[in-house]
Structures are given as C-alpha cells and as structure tokens.
Amino acid sequence: MTEKDCGRQTLAERLWEHAAPERSLASLRTALWLIRRAGPGLLSGDAERVALADHVDVDVHRFRRQAESMLAGDGGDADLRLLCAAADLLPGWDEDWLLLFREQLRLLRLHTLETVGRRYCEQGHHPQAIDLILRVVAEEPLRESAQAVLIDAHLGAGNAAEARRQFDVFAANLWQELELRPSAQLGQRVGVPGTRR
C-alpha cells in the first residue's frame, strides 16, 4: 500500500508483544474501532493490512525526508531547526520494538548534523559549524566523527588552541570511559601523532 501501512498481525504483535496472538489481534480490532470512531477517515486498509489515510502526516516520515534532503544538500534553515529540535520517538514508551527505530532516527539525526557541519566548514562558515556540532558533541561526547568536524571548525576559524583543547578533552574522556585513544588521523589535525590502541 504505502510507507504508512502495516500487516494487522505484525502491528498486533508489536503493540501487544506479550499477549497471545489471538488476544493481541482482538486488542488491535478494538483499538482500530476506537480510532475510527474518534477520527473517521484516519485509517484505511483491508482485512490483512492497516494504513493511515494518505492525508495523515506522520512526523517521523517528515523527519526522514528532511534529513535526506539535508544530506543531499537541499535542506534549508527551517529543516535544520526542526532537526536540531527533534525529540525521541514516542518518549515515555519502553516497548522493545521501539529501540531499533529510535536508534535509527538518532543516528540519522547525528549523521545529518555532522554532514551539515562539515558542509559549513567547507563553505567557510566556521562559527555556524561550531554551534551546530557542539549539539552533537553534547549528546555524544565520544563520537569521534563529530569531534573531527568540531576540531576542523576551530582550526578553520583560526583557533588552534581551542582545537587542541577540544582534542585533549575528547582524548581524556575516551580514555576514561573506554580506555581507547583517538585515531591517529584526529591527532594529526592538531599535531599529536599516535595510534589507537
């Protein structure tokens, strides 16, 4: 059908994963009846599949489209603000089936922000790159690819001391948390030769 549809059995198993199959299907039928009653026209489908109606906007799909657009270099400032403000998928829910989807969206967001930050550096917009990548580093302080963009932005802005300080903080955190050293490539950016052990 569309990217918004799902098999009834699959949907029932995901939403009521600890229930018996017959019970989860019964719960799904009840939920669908309540949704149709509360919002006629929100759902479509048949006996095998359930889908959101074409006019229903899904924020996760919009997020993915914006991220893909930005990765392709087509996104604008409005897309970037939405991406920066993105929250976890279904906060407060702790179902197992959500873990993979949350992680996929989180990594897509971080990768997109890094790509935009790298693009800012290439365009000479170093303060914007620093501001953007600091968000990624705050969320994932051990993410070396983000640290590399941040260090490059500091160097591009003419702040070699700030770049070295960032490297030293990252190296100390990486050693303290994982007993790893930064890659030789990262160290070479600030004049620190060495290899990861």
What is d(CA 82, CA 65) in angstroms, rounded to the nearest whole number? Answer: 12
Of 8-17, 86-95, 112-121, 149-158, where does mean pLDDT reach its minimum? 86-95
Q: What percent of the chain has pLDDT over 90?
A: 56
Question: pLDDT band at 196, cuts 50/70/90?
Answer: low
Structure tokens of 196? 């990861």
Sign of CA dihedral 110, 72, 63, 135: positive
Pairing of strands 49-52, 5-7: antiparallel
Task: Look up residue 60 and give its amino acid.
Answer: V
Tens of pLDDT, residues 97-149: 788 888 999 999 999 999 999 999 999 999 999 999 999 999 999 999 999 99
Task: Look up residue 111 and give its amino acid.
Answer: H
Structure tokens of 59? 């924020």
Q: Which CATH superfamily is domain 59-189 in?
A: Tetratricopeptide repeat domain (1.25.40.10)
pTM of structure: 0.77
Q: What confidence score (pLDDT) does residue 90 get? A: 78
What is d(CA 152, CA 163) in angstroms, rounded to the nearest whole number? Answer: 7
Of 10-14, 149-153, 178-182, where does mean pLDDT reach its minimum? 10-14
Rg of the chain taking only CA atoms, in angstroms: 22
What is d(CA 39, CA 150) in angstroms, rounded to the nearest whole number? Answer: 47
